[in-house]
Amino acid sequence: MAANGEPSFRQSVDLMFNRAVAVMDLSPGLEEKIRVCNSTYTVRFGVRLRGGIHTFTGYRSVHSEHMEPVKGGIRYAMSVNQDEVEALAALMTYKCALVETPFGGSKGGLRIDPREWDEFELEMITRRFAYELIKRDLISPAQNVPAPDMGTGEREMAWIVDQYQRMNTTDINGAACVTGKPINSGGIAGRVEATGRGVQFALREFFRHPHDMARAGLKGTIDGKRVIVQGLGNVGYHAAEFLSAEDGARIVGIIERDGALHNPNGMNVQAVRDWLIHHGGVKGCPEGTYVADGALLLEEACDILIPAAMEGVIHLGNAARIKAPLIIEAANGPITAGADDILRTRGAVIIPDLFANAGGVTVSYFEWVKNLSHIRFGRMERRQEEARHQLLVDELERLSSDKGLGWSLSPDFKSRYLRGADELELVRSGLDDTMRGAYQSISQLWNGRQDVTDLRMAAYIVAIDRVAKSYRSKGL
């Protein structure tokens, strides 16, 4: 138990797992095998910086190897600990199974505040951490493939891939040892936005299911819905930006580390993000009224609440005051198991983390495939597709003039139809398809079985069932 009387993050994930397996038909032995974390490696290493040796503590947990490589981000934060890394690794197992990416679950973390170190120092620390993991095959294209998470991004992934390639000079698939890389280091278009984009696609699919919307007491479309988002980092920023700029949502609240901004008329997300980057916080940003105790805004009336910062922010202490009818968990584990019970009893609909933020790992999968195939998506087909479309357009125009039909294709149609899809469009299409398919599988279970009371339970059941099948077919 954590100090506040709530279970720890890992225990919270296990409790959610237990709710699902209670209505499944698994042998106790297999159930236990799936639940436990296979291994956690703890490393303490020193780096000579600022005239002295500094010791850092890092972790890499492997939750399940029913499929390999195992996959999961690397987080940089002072709050990183073994319990947290193991909880996140377990979520990765279920997430990968749910969205059908062929990976087991893993996660890593380094106990560090990245804002306390300059870029050169961070590179030294990251390379040393990567070295410690690479030499134990805890970073490897075939066995264990990290990605960005809280406090890390493209820059850190570029250092990691370079470190791997220096240590494995003859591995032709070396670029696939980590995902979330910059394009020039073997990355893929659309990876940075992927998790936020996935949140948008998840919400769009939810709003295509009137019955599910009715269960949350919502009507209509995303257009005009009041949204509160916590954390304007990679995930929260992209989700809020896409939902407001493309789908017409009104971002009425933005919660950050130093407080929150509130504006019932909606805020310009890009303007707040620019302010945050330049000032290190949201205080003073003219887009909304500043609220010093930012977490209070979680309790404000809105249609959709998007916790996109960190775990455990909705807990026994505030769950009863959360008013949002729909909560989409863009962060991992933002709602504790106890808070989940309270919210469900009140009738709130929760779109769970293992589905909601799976856009990141989905596009990471595309990146890994791209690295192994050594070719950009669309490179072979794009011009051929354009040539075939041109044939059709020419034929339509010939018919129109030969037969004197007087048709003319609108210029907008021609330019849009004639253009072959580039990598970004293909990635978004694959992501959209994945999020739609995964939502349909959990919604069907939620609506089809009396004993499946919520989307989280449904998501765990779909995921655990797939992992179980995989273990069974291995003869375990």
Q: What is the total residue count of the chain?
A: 476
Q: Binding ligand NAD by CB under 6 A: which of 144, 332, 336, 443?
A: 332
Q: Which residue, 332 or 371, has its beta carbon nearer to ligand NAD?
A: 332
Among 256, 303, 423, 432, binds ligand NAD (CB under 6 A): 256
Between 282 and 452, CB nearer to ligand NAD:
282
State the residue for tokens 């290190």: 280
Q: Which stretch binds ligand NAD (CB under 6 A): 143-151, 298-306, 342-350, 423-431?
A: 143-151
**Min separation Cβ 275 and ligand NAD, Å:** 12
Q: Taking a C-beta distance cutoff of 8 angstroms, is the pair 42, 109 a contact?
A: no
The arrangement of strands across the sheet holding 289-291 comes to 289-291, 259-262, 250-256, 226-230, 304-307, 326-328, 349-351
Nearer to ligand NAD, 256 or 454 (CB): 256
The answer to whether 309 contacts ligand NAD (rule: CB under 6 A) is yes
**CA distances, 439 to each of 1, 151, 212, 434 (Å):** 32, 28, 11, 9
149 binds ligand NAD (CB under 6 A): yes
Complex with ligand NAD: residue 218 or 261, whichever CB lies closer: 261
Is residue 357 at the binding interface for ligand NAD, with CB under 6 A as the rule? yes
> Least distance (Å) from ligand NAD to the CB of residue 87?
10
Look at residue 450 and give its three-state secondary structure.
coil
Alpha-carbon distance of 314 to 19, in angstroms, equals: 19
Q: Which is nearer to ligand NAD, 64 or 364 (CB)?
A: 364
Cβ contact 358:197 at 8 Å: no
Q: Is 179 one of the binding residues for ligand NAD (CB under 6 A)?
A: no
- 475 Ramachandran zone, left/alpha/beta (phi>0; psi -120 to 50): left
User: Is residue 331 a contact residue for ligand NAD (CB under 6 A)?
Assistant: yes
Which residues are known to be catalytic? 107
* Shortest reach from residue 357's CB to ligand NAD, in Å: 4
Q: Which is nearer to ligand NAD, 80 or 455 (CB)?
A: 80
Sole binder of ligand NAD in the list 310, 327, 438, 458 (CB under 6 A): 310
- The verdict on 336 binding ligand NAD (CB under 6 A) reads no
Residue of 58, 72, 109, 148 interacting with ligand NAD (CB under 6 A): 148
Per 3-state DSSP, what percentage of the chain is helix, strand, and coil (rounded to 5)?
50, 15, 35
The helix or strand, by DSSP H or E, that contains position 276, with its residue range, turns out to be helix 269-279
For 11-148, where are the E strands, in sequence order?
Answer: 39-49, 52-64, 70-71, 74-77, 104-111, 144-145
By CB under 6 A, residue 312 contacts ligand NAD: no
Strand 304-307 with 226-230, pairing: parallel
Site track for ligand NAD across 209-238, x = CB under 6 A: ---------------------xxxxxxx--
Q: Which of residues 282-301 bind ligand NAD (CB under 6 A)?
A: 294
Question: What is the rounded radius of gyration, in angstroms, for the C-alpha atoms of the chain?
Answer: 23
Q: Using CB under 6 A, which of the segments 42-50, 221-229, 329-337, 340-348 binds ligand NAD?
A: 329-337
Query: Counting Cβ atoms within 10 Å, is residue 9 exposed (0-12), middle (13-18) or buried (19+)?
Result: buried
- Name the residue whose CB lies closest to ligand NAD: 233
Q: How many residues bind ligand NAD (CB under 6 A)?
A: 24
Which residue stretch of 144-152, 164-172, 316-324, 444-452 sits at the interface with ligand NAD (rule: CB under 6 A)? 144-152
CB contact at 8 A, 166 and 175: no
Asked if residue 239 lies in contact with residue 330, where contact means CB atoms within 8 angstroms, the answer is: yes
Q: How far is the CB of 85 from ligand NAD (least distance, A)?
A: 11
Tokens of 476: 């375990």
Separation of CA 274 from chain center:
22
Q: Is residue 269 near ligand NAD by the rule CB under 6 A?
A: no
Q: Which helix (H) or strand (E) segment is 83 a member of?
A: helix 82-98
Give dist(CA 108, CA 133) in Å, integer: 10
* Interface with ligand NAD, residue 151, by CB under 6 A: yes
Work out whether 150 is an interface residue with ligand NAD (CB under 6 A): yes
405 to each of 311, 398, 401, 411, how far by Cα in Å?
63, 10, 7, 18
Site for ligand NAD (CB under 6 A): which residue of 255, 291, 326, 455?
A: 255
User: Of the candidates 109, 187, 360, 378, which one interacts with ligand NAD according to CB under 6 A?
Assistant: 360
Binding residues vs ligand NAD (CB under 6 A)? 148-151, 195, 230-236, 255-257, 294, 308-310, 330-332, 357, 360
